Amino acid sequence: MIERTRVPGPLPGELTLRHPGPADHARLQVALAEWWDGLGGAAGALQRQLLVPRLFVQHFADTSFLVERPDRTLHAFLIGFLSQTDPATAYIHFVGVCPEGRGDGVGSALYDRFFAAARAAGRSQVRCITSSNNRNSLAYHRRMGFRLEPGDRTDDEGVPVHEDYDGPGLDRVSFVREL
């Protein structure tokens, strides 16, 4: 089933949108450590930081976005790219919204901009993954029209999980959304 196309609208308040660059990497690393309400403790923060190396803001900037406040404080980000292997697919690698900005529509605005960029590049689907213990992410992706893909097993709440997806003990949940 094809999802209804949502047109990216303006960001709330005085927020601005731009593509990231290498100079933004340090700010992203701080956000990755601090914005997840302690999920996974220090090990979880390090794991998130390692998932967004500098290469993402060097080589995938045109399909990634930063949202800043008027004082240039980082408010939200989306790191995404067009698949080099599958010409139908775009991939959202990592998204974050600062804790005080959650629920203000910025996350949805970032996804809508990425969906528009993917469509403009001729892509027909967007894929992403999340940690199996990140219940906020699971709920959010479902609300954004993503469907869960089958996994190796289901967890206690019936969520399909891919065991060891990113290495031993690094289980993930996989999503796809048709554009």
Domains of the chain by range and CATH?
14-123 (3.40.630.30), 124-179 (no CATH)
Pairing of strands 125-131, 89-97: parallel
Task: Answer whether 49's CB lies under 8 Å from 29's CB.
Answer: yes
Rounded to whole angstroms, how far apart are CA atoms 167 and 138?
A: 20
What are the tens digits of pLDDT across the range 143-174? 999 999 999 999 999 999 999 999 999 899 99
What are the tens digits of pLDDT across the range 71-123? 999 999 999 999 999 999 999 999 999 999 998 899 999 999 999 999 999 99
Q: Radius of gyration (Cα) for the chain, nearest Å?
A: 16
Rounded to whole angstroms, how far apart are CA atoms 13 and 34?
A: 23
Please state the pTM of the whole predicted model: 0.90
Rounded to whole angstroms, how far apart are CA atoms 15 and 160?
A: 36
Q: Indicate the pLDDT class of residue 25, thresholds 50, 70 and 90.
A: very high
